[in-house]
């Protein structure tokens, strides 16, 4: 299981989304074509390599991913009130708490998971603010679920998450995907199945492990 996010300044998000659309057009795609890891193939490899090149050259974009190596060992009954959904939003906290700071304000957009998300994201917002001693809750201006086709940068996050997932699952049956992974690894100078240093913020990989047996 993996969760990830792309983050940038609020004022830059629209222009960066437009630049991503421009890369699509330059590679023969529609600007509205949805960016998906599942679509990576030898026929469109040039586009995905261009996308990676742009991401690493673009200083305004940052990525963080949380990897849960084996979710099957988790004891939700004991530690998550019997709810896999509760665990899911706990992991969003661990993904985001190293990014947000009470010195700034944030708008957080999550990919839609289900129809029960509203209550969970409200709790996530409260927990993030409490963790940063922002008891007035001013740090997070907005937090909501949207669909990935509505936001270019969520599509970028999904694509990068897909690359990390492919490596961590030990898959090797798609040569184009392996080329994409090889290019990312050459940029970050390490494999995608190992964690990065905590302070690395361009491409941060957090390999999560339970604190105790079957525990989160």
Residue 180 contacts by C-beta under 8 Å, 6 or more apart in sequence? 40, 45, 48, 49, 52, 163
Q: How high is the pLDDT of residue 76? A: 41
Domain-located, residue 138: no
Domain-located, residue 193: yes
Range of the domain at 67: 2-102+148-207
Domain-located, residue 158: yes
Domain-located, residue 42: yes
Q: How many domains does the chain divide into? A: 1
**Measured between alpha carbons, how far is 211 from 202 in angstroms, rounded to an integer?**
27
Half-sphere exposure (Cβ direction) of 187: Cα atoms closer than 13 Å: 20
Q: How high is the pLDDT of residue 104? A: 94
- Average pLDDT, consecutive stretches of 10 residues, N- to C-terminus, the chain (216 residues): 94 96 96 94 96 98 92 50 67 91 94 69 90 90 88 96 97 97 98 95 91 48
- Continuous segment of H or E residues that includes residue 145: strand 140-146
Q: How high is the pLDDT of residue 158? A: 95
Domain-located, residue 121: no
Q: How high is the pLDDT of residue 208? A: 84
Pair of tokens at residue 67 = 């990897």
Nearest to 203 by CA among 179, 214, 187, 180: 187
Domain-located, residue 134: no
> Measured in whole angstroms, how far is the alpha carbon of residue 106 from the centre of its chain?
16
Per-residue DSSP letters for 48-107?
HHHHHHHHHH-TT-EEEEEE-S-GGG--HHHHSTT-HHHHHHHHHHHHHTTT--TTS-EE
Domain-located, residue 139: no
Q: Looking up tokens 């970028």, which residue turns up?
A: 156
Domain-located, residue 215: no
Q: How high is the pLDDT of residue 17? A: 96
CB 89 within 8 A of CB 76: no
Residue 64 contacts by C-beta under 8 Å, 6 or more apart in sequence? 4, 5, 7, 95, 98, 99, 201, 204, 205, 206
> Quick check: pTM over 0.75?
yes
């Amino acid at each position: 299981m993996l969760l990830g996010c792309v983050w940038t300044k609020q004022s830059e998000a629209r222009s960066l989304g437009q630049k991503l659309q421009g890369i699509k057009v330059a590679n023969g795609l529609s600007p509205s074509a949805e960016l998906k890891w599942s679509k990576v193939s030898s026929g469109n490899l040039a586009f995905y390599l261009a996308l990676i090149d742009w991401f690493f050259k673009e200083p305004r974009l940052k990525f963080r991913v949380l990897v849960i190596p084996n979710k099957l060992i988790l004891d939700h009954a004991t530690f998550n009130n019997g709810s896999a959904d509760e665990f899911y939003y706990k992991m969003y906290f661990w993904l985001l708490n190293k990014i947000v700071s009470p010195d700034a304000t944030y708008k957080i957009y999550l990919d839609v998971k289900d129809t029960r998300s509203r209550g969970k994201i409200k709790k996530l917002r409260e927990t993030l603010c409490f963790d940063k001693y922002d008891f007035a809750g001013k740090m997070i201006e907005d937090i909501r679920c949207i669909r990935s086709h509505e936001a270019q940068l969520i599509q970028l996050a999904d694509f990068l998450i897909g690359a990390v997932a492919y490596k961590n699952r030990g898959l090797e049956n798609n040569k184009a995907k392996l080329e994409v992974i090889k290019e990312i690894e050459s940029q970050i100078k390490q494999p995608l199945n190992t964690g990065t240093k905590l302070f690395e913020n361009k491409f941060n990989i957090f390999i999560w492990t339970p604190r105790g047996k079957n525990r989160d």
